[in-house]
Structure 1
Amino acid sequence: MNTHDPQKNDTSKFPDPVYKETVLKPLFDGAKTNFIDGFRAIDRAHLVMLAETGILTGEQAGKIAEALAAIDREVDPAALEYTGEVEDFFFLIEKELKARLGPDLGGRLHTARSRNDIDHTLFKFNLRRYIDAAAGGALDLLAALIDTAEREKTTLIVAYTHGQPAQPTTFGHYLSAAIEMLIRDIERLYAARKIVDLCPMGAAAITTSGFAIDRARMAELLGFSAPLQNSYSCIAGVDYITATYSALELMFLHLGRLIQDFQFWTSFEVGQLYVPNALVQISSIMPQKRNPVPVEHMRHLASQTVGRAQTVLTVMHNTPFTDMNDSEGETQAMGYQAFDSGMRVLELMTSLIGQVRINGKRVAANLDRSCITITELADSLVRREALSFRQAHEIAADVARAVVAADGALGSDGFVPFKKAFADHAGRETALDEDAFREIVSPEYFVAVRKRYGGPAQEPLDVAIAGYRAALNNFQQQADDLAARMDAADSERGQCFDRLRGKA
């Protein structure tokens, strides 16, 4: 029986060289790049709170504040090389405090807190700024879409289903569909922002603290809306990550579908969407080619954003409901890449959408060739000739077949086959003359009579656009309020910290 206790003979010292290079050094370097501002803010806010609650005396807090300010002046994080002397950036700051203040006072800043609540507060502190930037980019795109939809609310296009011409509508109506989808995506992003806006500080390792800390004050000093209530959830409930990256993934999945339409519409065969020269690259060998490659870049960057966001979600899958490294520094930094590529899409699409135009000549040709106003002929026969829709549909189908077979256009070549089809199916002559027929099958009439809620006619579209502008204004107010709260917190935290130093 082996009764050997390996711990008794373990003379190894932390950190193992391989662990240092593969884990600790990358984490330290990531902290230097991404989290310095958050560390500083949390240290200052925690120190202010400890002084205000009497956990530290004013003299103790003042000396610690002065030491923290000195560390900021004297230690350049970007110039630091990880040596393994301390485990991470948190312990580096504590080491610097102890060197300046002695081990007793230098260790008092960590009273009533843990790396657990510090970490998730730090990650939320950073993440909300990424969300706010993405929301700002999305609002710029939303404004551009609304402006273009209003400008193009009477501009005819061919609407496609299953890759085939289906019905005429307007570019403004099409963009309105994209606007409504983007509004829902922004709502999801702001819903995630509300989860991120709850502060974990004060949870300590898991169960809060026996010290009389003020969690609400910590949240206020860091610009959060409130503390996250359950202390276990503060370190285990990483739904702030999953909510954020789910919202981000959906936004760019949806924008990718719009981008795919733009790619199709700019093809030579369709030619419905004109991209101006400033956004077109010419082939290096074929001078006749106009390549609207920004559309392709938007497409692959949107896909990269979806993939990166999905990767973060996958990392969270099947992880334990507790504190864990899976949700921490390297995963957080990886997620920021999704925001970076997503911002490029938003900026490029905002620029593109304001500059593109519909090629009316190509649209008119495609409308003529495709007979896609034929649905309104059937509808009008029901209303004007008192036919059943099925009977009217059969007449319209015969007309479309005859016009397509003759390689003609519905408006100019459809009346003769229409008279015959009507007589064949209805057993009588139609009351419509050729002028009435031409009006009924015109794309302008098709759009104008579709005045129902949500339709492409000018009346419902004007109502819709007014609603979109109201939604944009509400979002902008929300963004302004969040920014103002964070700015106010930064200012108050700085003033309180300076008062501890006697600098106010």
Structure 2
Amino acid sequence: MTDNSTFPHPVYKDTVLAPLFEGAKTHHVDAFRMINQAHLVMLVEEGILPTKTGHELAKALRSIDEEVDVSALTYTGEVEDYFFLVEAELKKRLGPDVAGALHTARSRNDMDHTVFKLGLQKRVDHLIQSLHNLVTAMHETAAREKETLIVAYTHGQPAQPSTFGHYLLAASEVLLRDLDRLMLARDQIEKCPMGAAAITTSGFPVSRQHVAELLGFEEPLENSYGCIASVDYITGLYSAIKLVFVHLGRVIQDFQFWSAFEVGQLYVPNALVQISSIMPQKRNPVPIEHMRHLCSVTAGRCDMMVNTMHNTPFTDMNDSEGEVQQAGYATFESGGRAIDLLAAFIPALSINDDRVAKTADAACITITELADTLVREESISFRQAHEVAAATAKKVIAEGKSLGDAHADFMTAFIEMTGRESHLDEAAYRRSVSARHFVNVRKRFGGPAPVAIEASLERQITHFGHLKAHFEQIQTRKKTANQMREKAFDALLNNRGE
């Protein structure tokens, strides 16, 4: 018969406490160590604890770090969680009075959310660095491919000529906006909850600002109730991450379509192609499928995090804590794999010029420029020019001709529409329907012409530079804070207060 009077109940231990303990061992030991050091330094510097007590606590914390092999621990139920494990180890070394002094003016409530924010910072910074690598890969490939013609599709049908560089800059422009959103969300995990204690701060004269500084946060999160109740740092961050992968997934899907045999304008090199086990003629660019599913899995994990917060009370609650936070970390694993693969995939791609030329010609995708040329050079309305161009394209497609060879069909359509011959001779006509001419005359702001591409790329690189500078400022602050905290903690170790 189960003893229901002793905590923890064995099923509760196995289903909740043990998994939480294992998660803390894997993900949060360093964060707990940082918080203990920063809080202890602040307590001594503010005169809340005497230097002698601070020295004893610092020495005991250091011995725990050196003597306890956390990775080898197995949860037994003797303590509730990792926090109480550290407190129990302190009691062994110092006795309950001195050991308990470390917990002055703090709670597991403010500690937990600080731990989670520190864990998220590390992971999101790695993700952001990977996204920086992807942006660089896209920019370098766009510069290389700024004159490489492609067929641009709308509604799944050949539409107009563009360039691979123009397409990639469209994708990287979205990615830069996604990085803007991600950095804004990341800024919200730069607000430190420490000092909020359980809900209402403390009667002790703690310096919340100094603890935040020692932990590398930008500043404390102000409202103490919000420190333990608000979860917008979770919902905001995972929402911003989701958008990255929703948007990248659309580009990846285009790569799948473009590399299909029937389209064939995208060539994936052999290093990124698998061959069928039974059909030797097949080149399967399966990394595309892996990237697509990794993006979908990552977006789904983001939804899981946001949806878990739905209809939860505005207070401290486990729905936003240990197990949920640990589950969310899988987002960074799958997302990081997708980004790293895509950053290697894009520079390796090339465009099949022959297939682009054949599709462009067969589908008459330059016919819009013929209409534009007629408006400029024949002084007719765009509607008249559009009808001439449409009649020409219809004839060419019906008879399977090359659009460039259809000057006679064009002239017939023009005469029927206007009652006179066009001034465009065969050479001028060929030029007006060539894909290269189509692209080169579209040199307006944001267009595909090389001059417009170069200007767009320059603006994007400037935008990217601002994002990187902001990111580097954060990393510098973190590094400085770590050095400051370690120096102050070492000073406690060396000052006996006697």
Deviation digits for residues 172-203 of structure 1 (CA, Å, limit 9, x no counterpart)? 00011001000011111100110001000000
Give the aligned partner of residue 478 of structure 2. 486
Q: How does 1:83-482 map to 2 (within 5 A)?
A: 83-412=76-405, 414-482=406-474
In 1, the alpha carbon distance for the partners of 2:150 and 2:281 equals 25
Equivalents in 1 of 2:404, 2:372: separation in Å? Answer: 16
Equivalent-residue separation in structure 2 for 1:417 and 1:372 (angstroms)? 17
Write the distance in 1 (CA, Å) between the matches of 2:485 and 2:305: 32
Runs (4+) of structure 1 moved beyond 3 Å? none
- 1:206, 1:381 → 2: CA distance? 73
Aligned-pair CA distance for 1:503 = 7.7
Percent identity at matched positions? 58
Report the secondary structure of 1:107's partner residue.
helix
2:31 to 21, 27, 38: 38
Measured on the aligned residues, the alpha-carbon RMSD in Å equals: 1.1
Q: What code does the residue aligned with 1:84 have? A: G
Contact 1:143/1:472 (8 A) holds in 2: no
Cα separation, 1, equivalents of 2:47 and 2:146: 64
Secondary structure at the counterpart of residue 160 of structure 2: strand
5+ long unaligned stretches in structure 1: 1-9
**Is the contact made by 2:276 and 2:282 (CA closer than 8 Å) also made in structure 1?**
yes
Partners of 1:489 and 1:244 lie apart in 2 by 23
Deviation readout 1:320-348 (Å, 9 max, x if unpaired): 11101011011111111011000001100
Match of 1:6 in 2: none
Structure 1, residues 8-64: CA drift from partner, whole Å, max 9, x if none? xx9712111111111111111110011000000000000000010000010000000
TM-score, structure 2 length as denominator? 0.98
1:77 aligns with 2:52: no
Q: Measure the CA separation in 2 of the matches of 1:485 and 1:50.
A: 22
CA distance in 1 between partners of 2:122 and 2:419 (Å): 71
Name the CA distance, whole Å, in 2 between partners of 1:243 and 1:369.
48
Total equivalences in the alignment: 494
Counterpart check, 1:500 vs 2:496: no
Amino acid at match of 1:393: H
Counterpart pick for 1:56 among 49, 58, 79? 49
Deviations 1:264-316 (A, max 9, x none): 00111111111111111111111111111111110011111011111111101
Letter paired with 2:464 = L
Mapped to 1, the partners of 2:418 and 2:4 lie a distance apart of 100
How far apart, in 1, do the equivalents of 2:24 and 2:174 lie? 36
Deviation per residue, 1:372-417 (Å, 9 max, x gap): 00011111111111111111111111000000011011112x2111
Q: Which runs of 5+ in 2 are unaligned?
A: none
Q: Any idea what SS the aligned residue of 1:501 has? A: helix
Deviations 1:408-433 (A, max 9, x none): 11112x21111010000111111111
Q: Is the 8 A contact 2:431 2:437 kept in 1?
A: yes
Indicate if the aligned counterparts of 1:168 and 1:367 stay in contact, CA closer than 8 A: yes
State the 1:479 CA deviation. Answer: 2.1
